[in-house]
Structure 1
Amino acid sequence: MSSTNSQSDTPNPVDRAFQHALYADSDDALDTGASLLAAAPGADAELDRRGREFVAAAWRRGWQPADVVRLVRRELDEAHVRLLAALIRAQRPDDRPRGPRWTAQLDDLPTEAPPRPDRFSHATAVLELYRLLLRLPALEPLDEPVTSAAGRPRPESRMLGRIRALLAKAEATGFPEEAEALSAKAQELMARHSIDDALLASRTHAPDASKDVPGACRIGVEPPYEQAKAVLLDAVATANHCRAVWNEPFAFSTVVGFEADLEVVELLHTSLLVQAQTAMTRAEAAQRAGGRKRTKTFRQSFLAAYAHRIGTRLAEAAQTQVTQDLLPVLASREVAVTDRLDRMFPETTTTRLRGVSDEAGWVEGSEAADRAQVAPRRPLR
């Protein structure tokens, strides 16, 4: 007597498509999976549900919305980014509260509706996205408190607003001296912002004040010239009482520090990159006008020198920002940051900058960093 599989034992179109497309890299496997989905309109709801599960799994592995968007944008294209954004928004009601930084990343998601071409093309894009999500490795978790330490709210302060405005002006001006003055004033306000936060935490005697502990965030470090950009971020982080660890394969650095310091690191690093790009474009044009054509090596050397020089100048400025009575408070925070970093990254390695061989680029980059440097100023009290 023979037997046959019941209908419930037959894999549904989504399972069959996944078996073909998600575990193989070939175009033929992808086409087969897309064809199965294109021929099964009734499977669309299940396909979307599986996508939300992939998103939830990415969060469990330590990824955050901005991390996944950055990777999808680099590995695939904007159509996939819009598909991802729609999935993340759809999964949000099923997720737990994650904190202000996570919420800000959700708010920054693209809002354009994902394109809906023919069913086969749409299914292909969905499977390409799911294949990438399925293969995401585990990252160091960056758990963020839902509320701020000691119950303090975390709306953006007026000082942060002033810092943003100053840096925006520094980025926009065509006059190096004005950019230097604006950047210097912004760094002074950053130092005040950090010290005010540290003193407030040290003077808080609420039972949960001990929860004022270092956090962490990821900042994209995108090609090209990502090594020099990572060095620049490390310099900015160190000058602002944070530590940075670069993940080259996934194009980001993890910055560890207290929230007030993390905020200014993001601001200053972004601004300095903009200022560096402006200065590099101007210097490169002058090089070409002089008959020299070393675009790639010139840019690499320019940014490497810029990062190196900025690091030196920020370190010098940092030494003048505090008085002796503030040292114990800042020292205890440095210990806490180092401890958090060591627990997150028990094994790290150092790397050397590659491709720095253009003398003109190095000189021009150093001079540009001097124009953007933060001059030492009176101690803050």
Structure 2
Amino acid sequence: MNNDLLQATVNAARLQILDAGARGWLPDDLRHVLSTGPGLDHLLHTAADLITFLPGPVAERWRRQSRRGGRPPRDMSLLRTWIVELRQLTDIPGADTVLRTDEEALAGLDEPQLKAHQRVQALLAKAESTTYEEEAKALLEKAAQLRQRYRLAEILDELTSGEGPTIATARIHLRAPWVPHQAQLLGAVAQPNGCRAILFHRKGLALIVGETADVRHVTATFASVNRQRDWFMRNSPGARAARKFDETSAYRRSFQLSYATEIGRLLRDAATVPQDAHRGAREEAAGKDALPALTHREVAVADAFNRMFPRRSSMNLSSRHPGGHADGRDAAHNSKLGPDQEAGLRGRRALSR
């Protein structure tokens, strides 16, 4: 192999990675959309050492996400493939608003906020781990109501301080297959929680835009229901019959569309704190006071999303399998709608595979 030609190609790939970094791409994003192979981590790490001209948060995330070590790439064909794919990448807007890590976010909470966060997380963990569906539903409803009340407190703080909402973005890496269907489920989770979502790259890079706490909640909730989508899709009552009659693809398309639609409806219902005797007069008054701030938050999110993505199109996904439609609807009702409680799903449900 011509070593000079190889080194020139490595340098060309590194320059394209630097350009992608300037366009808002992070190492984890590039690992997701590029054809993976030996040497990519080496290129990303050496590029991270050079990305000092980017805004502070972006450079810091490059340092966090790059991995030291590994040998330089030596596959010329792979290097050329990376170069072609990197040249096709477009700007990712909002790079300076990328959601902080969990450690950074929790460190920024005061004691009441941290306790509120822990209460919701504890309810959701219990809901995911119980083997009784009715108990899980009751726990999830309580967690959803608490989340909305804490959200109300956040909005009232904005109203009192006169400060607007802090807009954040999050990157979601959707794994093939069924990327468009997963993106639809992401939108179904985002909308009831005050966020917007978009499938940015065909290989499964999706972005969420919203107020910081809302984006974090959507990210965690989607991680859970998306994993449940995959499990139910393979194990629901009609899945075996669909395989037997060679209808698996049609069944799964219909299942996922129905599942996303029903999850969205359930989350919209859960996001509404009941107007009943359990709510005190003070809470009712606070809710009314927060309406202008809530409207302001929704407008701010919509404006930010429209600025970031002024030109976008909608997806049209078909659904023609009645069994898949019914199973998707039923599976949504049996899903745990809280953030990512991985142990519960891989515990009791994995045993029935």
TM-score by length of 2: 0.74
* Number of aligned residues: 319
Letter in 1 for 2:187: D
Task: Show CA shifts across 1:144-173 (max 9, x none).
Answer: 2899xxxx9864745445655655665666
Superposition pairs of residues 70-149 of structure 1, within 5 angstroms:
70-72=32-34, 76-79=35-38, 81-92=40-51, 95-98=54-57, 103=60, 107-109=64-66, 111=67, 113-115=69-71, 120-121=74-75, 123-144=76-97
Letter in 2 for 1:372: S
**2:288 counterpart of 1:324:** yes
Measure how far apart 1:256 and its partner are: 1.6
Q: Equivalent residue of 2:199, what SS?
A: strand
Please identify the structure whose Cα radius of gyration is greater: 1
Letter in 1 for 2:153: D
In 2, the alpha carbon distance for the partners of 1:146 and 1:266 equals 10
Task: Show CA shifts across 1:22-69 (max 9, x none).
Answer: xxxxxxxxxxxxx43x257xx85x876655543331122232333222
**2:29 counterpart of 1:67:** yes
Superposition pairs of residues 356-367 of structure 1, within 5 angstroms:
356-367=319-330
User: Are 1:217 and 1:256, in contact at CA under 8 Å, matched by a contact in 2?
Assistant: yes
In 2, the alpha carbon distance for the partners of 1:307 and 1:182 equals 22
RMSD: 3.7
In 1, the alpha carbon distance for the partners of 2:293 and 2:178 equals 37
Partner of 1:6: none
Letter in 2 for 1:140: P
User: Are 1:84 and 1:129, in contact at CA under 8 Å, matched by a contact in 2?
Assistant: no
Shift of the 79–48 alpha-carbon distance from structure 1 to 2, 3 Å rule, reads closer
Task: Show CA shifts across 1:309-357 (max 9, x none).
Answer: 0111112222336833322221110111111122222233222213x22
User: Are 2:239 and 2:251, in contact at CA under 8 Å, matched by a contact in 1?
Assistant: no
In 1, the alpha carbon distance for the partners of 2:131 and 2:252 equals 20
In 1, the alpha carbon distance for the partners of 2:272 and 2:79 equals 52
Query: Which structure is richer in relative contact order (CA contacts within 8 A, separation 6 or more)?
Result: 2
**2:247 counterpart of 1:294:** yes
In 2, the alpha carbon distance for the partners of 1:266 and 1:314 equals 14
Partner of 1:11: none
Shift of the 159–87 alpha-carbon distance from structure 1 to 2, 3 Å rule, reads farther
Shift of the 91–48 alpha-carbon distance from structure 1 to 2, 3 Å rule, reads farther
In 1, the alpha carbon distance for the partners of 2:123 and 2:246 equals 35
Q: Equivalent residue of 1:254, what SS?
A: strand
User: Are 1:183 and 1:372, in contact at CA under 8 Å, matched by a contact in 2?
Assistant: no
Letter in 1 for 2:233: M
Superposition pairs of residues 187-198 of structure 1, within 5 angstroms:
187-198=144-155
Shift of the 96–50 alpha-carbon distance from structure 1 to 2, 3 Å rule, reads farther
Q: Equivalent residue of 2:57, what SS?
A: coil
In 1, the alpha carbon distance for the partners of 2:79 and 2:60 equals 25
Shift of the 278–216 alpha-carbon distance from structure 1 to 2, 3 Å rule, reads same
Shift of the 270–140 alpha-carbon distance from structure 1 to 2, 3 Å rule, reads same
Q: Equivalent residue of 1:143, what SS?
A: helix
In percent, how many aligned pairs have the same letter?
26
Measure how far apart 1:204 and its partner are: 2.2
Letter in 1 for 2:22: R
Shift of the 114–162 alpha-carbon distance from structure 1 to 2, 3 Å rule, reads farther
Q: Equivalent residue of 1:68, what SS?
A: helix
User: Are 2:116 and 2:150, in contact at CA under 8 Å, matched by a contact in 1?
Assistant: yes
Flag structure 2 segments of 5+ consecutive residues without an equivalent: 275-283, 339-353
Partner of 1:219: 172
Measure how far apart 1:235 and its partner are: 1.5
TM-score by length of 1: 0.69
User: Are 2:198 and 2:207, in contact at CA under 8 Å, matched by a contact in 1?
Assistant: yes
